[in-house]
Amino acid sequence: MLSLGFDIGGTTVKAGVLDEELKLIVKESRETPKQDAEALCDMIKQMADELSGGAKEFRCIGVTVPGSVDKDGGIIDAWNIGLRNVPLKRMIESRIKAERVIVKNDADAACDAELHFGVLRGVKYGLMLTLGTGVGGSIIFDGKLFHGGREQGTELGHAMINRGGDLCGCGHRGCIETLCSASALKRLAQKACEEKRGMIWSLASNGADPDAKLLIDCAMQGDEYAQELFEGYTDVLADAIASFVNILDPEVIVIGGGVSGAGDFLLDKLRVKVPPRTFFGSCGRILKASAGNDAGVLGAVI
């Protein structure tokens, strides 16, 4: 029997059909319906029908959401997609016949994918940060994903490190997410455009999107102002990681999400900046997530 993974992001829903060996055989993306749980579940049902060629029953339907999930598979809060207190697992079970329906936090799914298929294989104590629209964070404890003492997961991206700082989507101020997400880099790129400075501004005025990728590309190409902005970004990110190292002392720190596309240009800076900022003066290996864009879809069904 087939399994289906759905990775619900702030902008798109990525879906994938997996065979018995959990190999991805078909995938597709559609726009995320916002603030409408019924529309979201109807779309999941429709995609399941279409992508599976009308299968009547599935081994597993796995769904990841960008927010917190309770132990019954209900969404506690996913502000990115405008959903709060939604019994998502039950709503999917009423639409699709499957041996198992799983609903989990997207960062946890990405971490599960690394644990089973990627760079966290065999790691006993690890940490993964997903730097995308938001900042997700997951902890590997004793070889397993740590679900929290009350099974609500962990929200490392909402650790507050900047008192009175920018307002976060969670309602608090100064969260790591406001400083270390791809959205934070996008705000820096927009600032460069407002100030009409450097390569970011000149490329954006020629039609390029002033987003995280543009800022990173300009920094990589040696533009001084983009490099200055990226140094500032990696300084804050290194502070955040060093704080987690002081709490967890992980063997491996994995960086995933869109920003990790910068590869060693980002990781080498962290490898230099993080160790001296920790209490220990050292830290575990810092690696890039290896499951790539399909991490959410794969991790959803594990």
Residues near Zn ion (CB under 5 A) are 158, 168, 170, 175
State which residue, 15 or 175, has the beta carbon closest to Zn ion: 175
Structure tokens at 175: 């969260």
Q: How far apart are CA 156 and CA 295, in angstroms?
A: 19
Question: Smallest distance, Å, CB 210 to Zn ion?
Answer: 24
State which residue, 147 or 158, has the beta carbon closest to Zn ion: 158
Question: Smallest distance, Å, CB 158 to Zn ion?
Answer: 4
DSSP-derived secondary structure letter, 248:
H
State which residue, 10 or 62, has the beta carbon closest to Zn ion: 10
State which residue, 170 or 208, has the beta carbon closest to Zn ion: 170
Question: Smallest distance, Å, CB 263 to Zn ion?
Answer: 27
If 0-12 CB within 10 Å is exposed, 13-18 middle and 19+ buried, where does residue 69 land? buried
State which residue, 44 or 170, has the beta carbon closest to Zn ion: 170
Question: Smallest distance, Å, CB 131 to Zn ion?
Answer: 14
Question: Smallest distance, Å, CB 176 to Zn ion?
Answer: 8
DSSP-derived secondary structure letter, 90:
H
State which residue, 77 or 251, has the beta carbon closest to Zn ion: 77
Strand intervals (E) in the chain: 3-8, 12-18, 24-31, 58-65, 68-69, 75-78, 83-86, 98-105, 126-131, 135-141, 144-145, 252-256, 285-288
State which residue, 79 or 265, has the beta carbon closest to Zn ion: 79
Q: How far apart are CA 264 and CA 287, in angstroms?
A: 9
Contact 105, 69 (CB under 8 A): yes
Residues linked to residue 137 through DSSP beta bridges, in sequence order: 129
Question: Smallest distance, Å, CB 87 to Zn ion?
Answer: 24
Question: Smallest distance, Å, CB 186 to Zn ion?
Answer: 17
Q: Is 17 helix (H, G, I), strand (E, B) or coil?
A: strand
DSSP 252-283: EEEEESGGGGGTHHHHHHHHHHHHHHSSSS--
How do beta strands 98-105 and 58-65 pair? parallel
